[in-house]
Structure 1
């Protein structure tokens, strides 16, 4: 089927977007860059944006059956959300890697395995690319506009556009391509 790169699935609007397992974010980056997956295949990143409680995972041994069982149980909402976009996904999936808050804490060094900071748009904002150090810009999931693949990509573009306007970028790209 014709797919878009990004989807958001909200299971129940009445529960709100901060309810556990209610919002499922889906990114298919290989639609934009086919080199991100083997030929004829795609990679899909599916996650609950900052709504998975750490307390469910705290203290679990990552090698235990209890951990494996909880991963299976908690990932079910992701599979159901993804099936709303790709109905036969379970039949087509060749590899599934499930991350948990413990995964994020270990590999991303995130406090309590968070996906990123939850900031209220009306009260605070992520910092922009400029820093007090001359020539040093910041981009990524802790810079404006924030967490997630689309936001991180936008953060990189904002940092690049701080160095040169879009027209200059296009000129440079034409030269190298």
Structure 2
């Protein structure tokens, strides 16, 4: 198993827009495996690469009878119906709040081998995919709450036992300097 630590609210990578995947290689396959293993171990319905500290447009999902992953995903809303329901996030432990999302979507992207895939979803699957694509854009579900619910969510986060506890990762300088030259 390749379970990785999940980045928590406050980590800057969660607010950064992820970049498109260009190499469908062994490293991408390992990332997808890490996402799936970590998501299942944590009991989540989805997990995006930035939540593992990787700024690439990749996520994994497992909702009911639907599971998989998407690379470089986009989605289109189908119809005008919306759903208002509870969401949570592995990067914001123990918080659940009602959030407004499109009821039905069509998501398009690629699998880890570079093959195009399309996922049509409604209800929980649509909610999960929208949530994970938000992560790839640096958006957290608390950003989509109405002002009163967002204020309450932020109070909950500030008072949580986990907020501000995790140390930021150590970033090592490249010994060769910029562009691989000394």
Q: TM above 0.5, one fold?
A: no
TM-score (norm 2): 0.24
Higher normalized contact order (CA 8 Å, seq sep 6+, divided by chain length):
2
TM-score (norm 1): 0.24
Instruction: Tell me which protein shows more helix as a share of its residues.
Output: 1
The structure richer in strand per residue is 2
